[in-house]
Structure formats: structure tokens, C-alpha cells
């Protein structure tokens, strides 16, 4: 019982740490590139104009954001 709980905790922590480290690095790199920030900001503004708020559909249409983050 305790071994399974410990293993589950280990898997959760390992998965969380790798994702958070990768996202931190990605956001850091975006912060260094003003032109990338401007393009992402423009996509977000266009989506807000089209939908009035951030929506799932709007985020799905943000191709440049997807390329920069994924």
C-alpha cells in the first residue's frame, strides 16, 4: 500500500517538475524576444475583438501562440 502511494507521488512530482521547468524556460525565451511578444499580443487582441473574451475557439485559432509555446 505505502509503496504504491510513494510511487504515485514520485510520478506526479517528476511530471510536474519537468513541465514547470519547460514552461519557465519557454516563457523566459519569449520575454527575450520582443517581436515574438508583439505577434502573440496581436493574436490575443484579434481574438478578443472577434469573440469579446478569451474563448476556447479563440485560443485554438492562435496559431503563432501555439507555435511559440508548444
- Domains of the chain, by residue range, sit at 1-32, 34-70
Tens-of-pLDDT digits for all 70 residues of the chain? 678 888 887 777 777 778 888 889 999 999 999 999 999 999 999 999 999 999 999 999 999 999 988 8
Q: Which three cell numbers mark 3?
A: 509503496
- Collapse the DSSP code of 70 into the 3-class scheme (helix H, G, I; strand E, B; otherwise coil) and give the result: coil
pLDDT at residue 5, rounded to an integer:
84
pLDDT at residue 50, rounded to an integer:
97
pLDDT at residue 20, rounded to an integer:
84
Amino acid at each position: 500500500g505505502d509503496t504504491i502511494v510513494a510511487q504515485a507521488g514520485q510520478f506526479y512530482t517528476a511530471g510536474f517538475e519537468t513541465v514547470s521547468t519547460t514552461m519557465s524556460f519557454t516563457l523566459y525565451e519569449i520575454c527575450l524576444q520582443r517581436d515574438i511578444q508583439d505577434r502573440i499580443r496581436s493574436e490575443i487582441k484579434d481574438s478578443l475583438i472577434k469573440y469579446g473574451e478569451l474563448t476556447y475557439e479563440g485560443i485554438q485559432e492562435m496559431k503563432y501562440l501555439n507555435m511559440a509555446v508548444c
